[in-house]
Structure 1
Amino acid sequence: MRRLDAGQGPGPPCRFSRKALRSVRHSELRVEGWWGGVSVVRQQRFPRARASVRAARQFVGDTLACWGLGERWDDMRLCASELAANAVLHGAPPGRDFSVRLVREPGRVLIEVRDSGPGLPVFRCASPASTTGRGLWLVRTVADECGVSDEAVGKTVWVAFVA
């Protein structure tokens, strides 16, 4: 396996929005994988704050643009927003971060949101007057696949899209 730095590989260097990276303090960006092989991975950590939902959505959009994946771009960003919002509101304990990880594999893109909070997501039946409770239903409808992986500490909620 060969490690790649941003800007290596085919095509022009990948650039991320300065606004997205500036809006998230104490974040890290990790790039690993190989082109033409099995997968490419990008991951970034975000603090437990409402502003991180927008920053996570921007990170996903910038990564997809860098990879040249415009098809279903809105669906992927929507799912990333919903999963990041759930991590902020229900998953990550106060003072802890959550991470967003994108994996590009041949034929599919996987988006994972991991937090260190206890418990697993619950699908709720929202009343017509309710302003919350529809996010996971929306994710389940829009994504090609979705699921949850229980971790030693916390959980990873993931969605996959054919690409």
Structure 2
Amino acid sequence: MSKSTVQDWVSELPLMQQSVLLSAIRGPDGISKCQACRAMIRWFRRCVLVSAFDGKVFNSPCQLGGGSFTGPSCNMQDYDGRFALDWETAMKPKIDAFLKAKDELPHHYLTHFMHAAEVLGYQHPDMRIRNWWFSVYSRICRVLYVVPETEVMMRRRLSDNELDWRATGDETTMYSE
């Protein structure tokens, strides 16, 4: 039996959607380990990868484990020093800080992360996680003043069909020799 670092559901996606997820895994170069995006990236990794140290999937950004690469993004007391009843509440300050610090990030990485959040927001098998990431995708679109794609639009653009992909992009995004 082979092992994979990606969760089983990821390998069932079209290759283009898998590529979008993998493009956001590493995080941006030149950014401090304390930058607001790090908590978001660690939670993102937990939603896509199997933790190497633990050999398991984490369904909460607050759960202990995962080392520094897929470690916790929050604890249940992160929300104004009070105990949060759910991880969504505990993560609210993290997404707020991420969006406030967006100008510190390379635009290229921010768009990779936005599209990866979109894939999670439409495709993640856990509805709670899916809904949370769709709200992140929507908020990133709002702060960038762009209109979110519908699920049908995203699936067409990232369907592994080159004609559909070309039909949804600009000529400057196409490979040329």
TM-score (norm 1): 0.28
TM-score (norm 2): 0.26
Decide which structure has greater helix share: 2
